[in-house]
Amino acid sequence: MTKAEKKTQMDNTETENTHAFETDVSRLLDIVANALYSNKDVFLRELISNAADACDRLRYEAINNPALKEKDEAFGIHIAIDREGDKLMIRDNGIGMNKEDLIENLGTIARSGTAAILENLKSSGKPDDMSLIGQFGVGFYASFMVAKTVEVISRKAGDNKAWKWVSDGRTGFSITEASKDEAALLNGQSGTHITLNTKPDAYDYLIDDKVIQIVMIYSDHIDIPVYLDTKEKDADQPINAASALWTRPKSEITDEQYKEFYHHIGHVFDEPLLTTHWKAEGVIEYTGLTFIPSMRPWDLYDPQRQHSLKLYVKKVYISDKVDNLLYPWMRFVKGVVDTQDLPLNISREMLQNNPVVSKMRSGITKKILSELDKLSRDDEPAFETFWYQFGAVLKEGLYDAVEHRDDLFKVCRFRTTDKTGTLTSLADYIERMKDGQEEIYYISGDNADSLKKSPQLEGFTARGLEVLLLTDTVDEFWLQMVTDYKDKKFRSVTKGQVDLNKFDDIKDDPAQSDEDKAEKQKTSASVELLRQHLEKILKDDVNYIRISKRLTESPVCLIAEDGSVDMHMEKVLKIQQNYDPTTKRVLEINKDHALIKKLAQMREENEENPVINEAAHLLYDQAMIIQGETIPDPAGFAKRMADFMTKGLST
Ligand code: ADP
Ligand code: MG
């Protein structure tokens, strides 16, 4: 439904001034009212956070349109308490909201993140699973934890009408034009005035010390001053530090303060996994304060998702939509960057191709990658959490940004066939390479456990050669662009020829008799004849058949030819792009397998034996199935299988 359709629907069913909440909002409010947080204090954090955002937005808009800031009064957030009337009031002189904004922002779940929480709650089937929702925060609606009713008076900068939004937080809300007295609460400026009519059990929040304490804990880092007014007059000293956190020296900031700041700017409520606060000095100067979340955001793979690093210029918030400020493969990073080296009144369009912005991006990327590298050495469990959450996204950088590739490889981790089962870096893999090994072996597929059982790995495993198990779709893509690491070529074990014999130090066994040797030669000659025979039978299915150097246990496997599309890549392409492969695969047969030997013998006795024909098709189908492919003629396969089983059982 579009916004306009939604609106007409509301207007049809409701009177002009009253609106029912959307189902999702009602549900959310229900959850909120039923003690969402064990800690109700956070409602104030949410309201202050919104007020500060509103001030930031007006400050930015007013750079190019100074008339929007009507009075020459500093930005501020004022809290007032009416103990007798059971009211708590919060006022800001920020951007304000018009009628549509009020409906859209406070009457629907505008934030897609909140909608996602609800989805999660629905699908978890546990509507009381508050631990989950507690990690997200519900913004404005948190006020209904402590308020029976909430009244919002707001006037948008540049408008002359003020509006009043009232709700009991259950059924819906009403919107009317604010009276003169009500509008006067805004103190002759644009902005928002919120009144909470508190519940009887929320009496605590009408006590000065309690409010001061909450502001100190949650809102100390906010750049806008927060005041606690008395009935008689506005306070003249703010109760928070009112200086942007990133401008303070690191030594004066506690972990708790960093965390609260992360919650405020990130609109998320998990613990930051990695906090990086630095000042870059050089050609371009800027301060960065970035966070890597410990939880993956729900829309990490949504193609619409953009990064949300906020750009400030000389402490003035500019935008969180400057594409070039951060690579898409770092889109999980939250934080702020503040620079002196851009003009304040730069337009958003001009920011997109700005060289200063690109240089900052490069610096930010380097810094974060080096901090991650450090984390991998200092705190392995934390690093692993990071890698499982965001590794696949970060790997997009391997093909996207050549200049950061080396640093990226330092933090990339891979599963391998190594027995320990831990993740490995490429540097460590190279350390463990066998004498004579010049390539980095890998196999790619959907799932590490089934990959480990691939027949193509047999010869490698038998010789103690370690193979990387690549299971992210993105792996296929960077491997198209990146051919080597530290002069070692990446080499797929499901593609082309491999020479594994050089790893065998089997010398000619002097004890071996001449008869044995003759016998061996005879077998290989007969397997070669079988190979040619099978090739004729399967000429429509495979390009050619080859005696395998990589199989030790299975009778057959499929291989992609050198220069053609690799096995798993082909599967990915088929799914994503309707790809129709042009080259057929190579079938490898294991000359030492009993089944192959037996077939070779049968062919020698009677070249026309129809069993060989059936067996050829079965072997091919089997190789396809192991590869996770659908076989061309399942009914034919089943019939042949049944015939062979019957024969097997009746002897
Ligand atoms: P969030 O802050 O994460 O967007 P909230 O539920 O806290 O979610 O607020 C919803 C929206 O309502 C905000 O995005 C903002 O557009 C609007 N809003 C809330 N409080 C104010 C305010 N004091 N001034 C202006 N707009 C506000
Ligand atoms: Mg908010």
Dihedral sign of CA atoms 145, 150, 155, 156 in order: positive
| 228 & 97 share domain | yes
Instruction: State residue 583's pLDDT score.
Output: 82
Q: Is the CB of 192 under 6 A from ligand 1?
A: yes
Q: Give residue-wise pLDDT tens across range 207-232.
A: 999 999 999 888 888 889 999 998 88
Asked if residue 555 has its Cβ within 6 Å of ligand 1, the reply is: no
CA of 554 to the centre of ligand 1 (A): 62
CB neighbour list of residue 651: distance below 8 Å, 6 or more residues apart: none
Q: What are phi and psi of 510, to 5 degrees?
A: -65, -25
Cβ(298)–Cβ(116) under 8 Å?
A: yes
Query: Region 165-176: what's the mean pLDDT?
Result: 92
* Residue 234 is assigned to a structural domain of this protein: yes
544 CB-contact burial (10 Å; exposed 0-12 / middle 13-18 / buried 19+)? middle
Q: Is 380 in contact with 425 (CB distance < 8 Å)? A: no
Ligand 1 close to Cβ of residue 136 (< 6 A): no
Name the one residue in this structure whose structure tokens are 């790997």. Answer: 395
**Residue-level length of the chain:** 651
Q: How far is residue 363's CA from residue 287's CA, in Å, rounded to a whole number?
A: 11
CATH code, domain carrying 254:
3.30.230.80
- Any domain includes 474: no
> For the chain, what is the domain count?
3
CATH code of the domain in which 166 resides: 3.30.565.10
| Ligand 1 centre distance from Cα of residue 46 (Å) | 9
Average pLDDT over residues 7-35: 67
Which residues are CB-neighbours of 293 under 8 A, at least 6 positions away? Answer: 266, 268, 270, 272, 273, 332, 334, 389
Domain boundary among 172, 206, 240: 240
E strand or H helix at 508: none
Give the C-alpha distances (Å, rounded to integers) separating 510 from 501, 502, 506, 519, 524: 19, 20, 11, 16, 20
Instruction: Please state the φ and ψ torsions of residue 574, each to the nearest 5 degrees.
Output: -60, -40
**By alpha-carbon position, which residue is closest to atom 7 of ligand 1?**
139
Q: Please provide the average confidence, as pLDDT, over all residues in the chain.
A: 88
Strands (E), 100-240: 147-155, 163-167, 172-177, 191-198, 226-229
Asked if residue 214 and residue 68 are part of one domain, the reply reads yes
End of a domain among 240, 272, 299?
240
Indicate whether 107 belongs to any domain: yes
Q: What φ, ψ does residue 423 adopt, rounded to 5°?
A: -75, 150
Q: Is 613 contained in some domain? A: yes
Tokens of 318: 């500019």
Ligand nearest to the CA of 152: 1
| CB atoms inside a 10 Å sphere around CB 345 | 12
Q: What is the CATH number of the domain that holds 602?
A: 1.20.120.790
Cross-strand partners of 228: 79
Cα angle, residue 562 at apex, residues 418 and 570 outer, rounded to 5°: 75
User: Residue 463: inside a domain, yes or no?
Assistant: no
Shared domain check, 294 and 206: no
H or E stretch covering 421: none
Give CA–CA dist 100/158, Å, rounded.
Answer: 15
Q: Which two tokens stand for residue 20?
A: 């029912």
92/219 same-domain check: yes
Residue 68 has pLDDT above 80, yes or no: yes
Which residues fall within 8 angstroms of residue 190, CB to CB, at 6 or more apart? 58, 68, 70, 93, 94, 95, 96, 155, 156, 157, 158, 159
Please work out whether the CB of residue 267 comes within 6 Å of at least one atom of ligand 1: yes
Q: Which ligand is nearest to the CA of 138?
A: 1
Q: Are residues 256 and 219 in the same domain?
A: no
Asked if residue 271 and residue 232 are part of one domain, the reply reads: no
The pLDDT of residue 440 is above 80: yes
The dihedral sign for the CA sequence 61, 67, 68, 71: positive
Angle at alpha carbon of residue 591, lines to 532 and 643, rounded to 5°: 75
Of all protein residues, the one whose alpha carbon is nearest to atom 20 of ligand 1 is: 50
Ligand 1 and 97: CB distance under 6 A: yes
CA of residue 196 to ligand 1 center, whole Å: 16
pLDDT of res. 221: 83
End-to-end CA distance of the chain: 69
Alpha-carbon distance values, 516 to 93, 152, 513, 548, 594 (Å): 96, 95, 5, 22, 18
pLDDT over threshold 70, residue 493: yes
Rounded distance from Cα 505 to ligand 1 centre (Å): 71
The 10s digit of each residue's pLDDT in 276-335 is 999 999 889 999 999 999 988 878 888 778 888 999 998 888 888 899 999 999 999 999
CA 50 – ligand 1 centroid, Å: 5
The CA 111 to ligand 1 mean position distance, Å, reads 9
The CA-based diameter of the chain, rounded to the nearest angstrom, is: 113
Eight-class DSSP state of 50? H
- Which amino acid belongs to residue 61? E
**By alpha-carbon position, which residue is closest to atom 10 of ligand 1?**
105
Q: Which of 355, 377, 399 is the last residue of a domain?
A: 377
Q: Is residue 394 part of a domain?
A: no
Enclosing domain of residue 142: 14-240
The residue whose CA has the least distance to atom 13 of ligand 1 is 105
The answer to which of 98-107, 502-511, 515-524, 595-604 has the lowest mean pLDDT is 502-511
- The response to whether residue 57 sits with its C-beta less than 6 Å from ligand 1 reads no
The ligand that comes nearest to the alpha carbon of residue 77 is 1
From the CA of 155, the nearest ligand is 1
- Cβ of 266 less than 6 Å from ligand 1: no
**Burial (CB count within 10 angstroms: exposed 0-12, middle 13-18, buried 19+), residue 362:** middle
- Are 25 and 94 in a shared domain? yes
* Residue closest by Cα to atom 23 of ligand 1: 51
Please state the rounded mean pLDDT for residues 380-390.
95
Check pocket membership of 617 for ligand 1, CB cut-off 6 A: no
Burial of 566 (0-12, 13-18, 19+ CB in 10 A): buried
The ligand 1 atom nearest the CA atom of 50:
20
pLDDT at 579: 77
pLDDT tens profile 70-91? 998 999 999 999 999 999 999 9
Q: Does a structural domain hold residue 37?
A: yes
Whether 148 lines ligand 1, by a CB cut-off of 6 Å, is no
Query: CA–CA separation, 407 vs 199, rounded Å?
Result: 55
Q: 122 pLDDT band (50/70/90 cuts)?
A: low
Ligand 1 probe mutation, 43, 53, 98, most atoms within 8 A of CB: 53
Confidence band of 126 (pLDDT split at 50, 70, 90): low
- Whether the pLDDT of residue 465 is over 70: the answer is yes
pLDDT recorded at residue 629: 87
Assess whether the C-beta atom of 95 lies below 6 angstroms from ligand 1: yes
**Ligand 1 pocket check for 153: Cβ under 6 Å:** no
Please indicate, yes or no, whether residues 132 and 146 belong to a single structural domain of this protein: yes
Cross-strand partners of 588: 546, 557
105 CB less than 6 Å from ligand 1?
Answer: yes
Task: Identify whether residues 176 and 129 lie together within a single domain.
Answer: yes
pLDDT tens per residue across span 131-161: 544 455 567 888 988 999 999 999 999 999 9
557, β-bridge pairs: 588
User: Are 321 and 223 within one domain?
Assistant: no
- Atom of ligand 1 at shortest distance to CA of 92? 23
Q: Which of 50, 92, 163 to mutate to test the pocket of ligand 1 (most atoms within 8 A of CB)?
A: 50
Domain membership flag for residue 83:
yes
| Paired tokens of 624 | 């396809």
Is the Cβ atom of 240 under 6 angstroms away from ligand 1?
A: no
Question: Using CA atoms, how far apart are residues 250 and 122, in angstroms rounded to an integer?
Answer: 42
Question: What is the predicted pLDDT for the residue at 12?
Answer: 43
Q: Give the pLDDT of residue 118.
A: 62
Runs of H (alpha helix) within 466-609 = 473-481, 514-537, 567-577, 594-605
d(CA 482, ligand 2 centre) in Å: 43
- The CA distance from 320 to 272, in Å, is 19
Q: Residues 463-480: what's their mean pLDDT? A: 94
* Predicted structure pTM score: 0.80
Q: Are residues 280 and 202 in the same domain?
A: no
190 lines ligand 1 (CB under 6 A): no
Contact call for residues 459 and 450 (beta carbons, < 8 A):
no
Ligand 1 atom 14 nearest Cα: 105
Atom of ligand 1 nearest to the CA of 106: 12
94 lines ligand 1 (CB under 6 A): yes
Residues 289 and 339 both lie in one domain: yes
Query: Ligand 2 centre and the CA of 45: distance in Å?
Result: 9
Please tell me if the CB atom of residue 488 comes closer than 6 angstroms to any atom of ligand 1: no
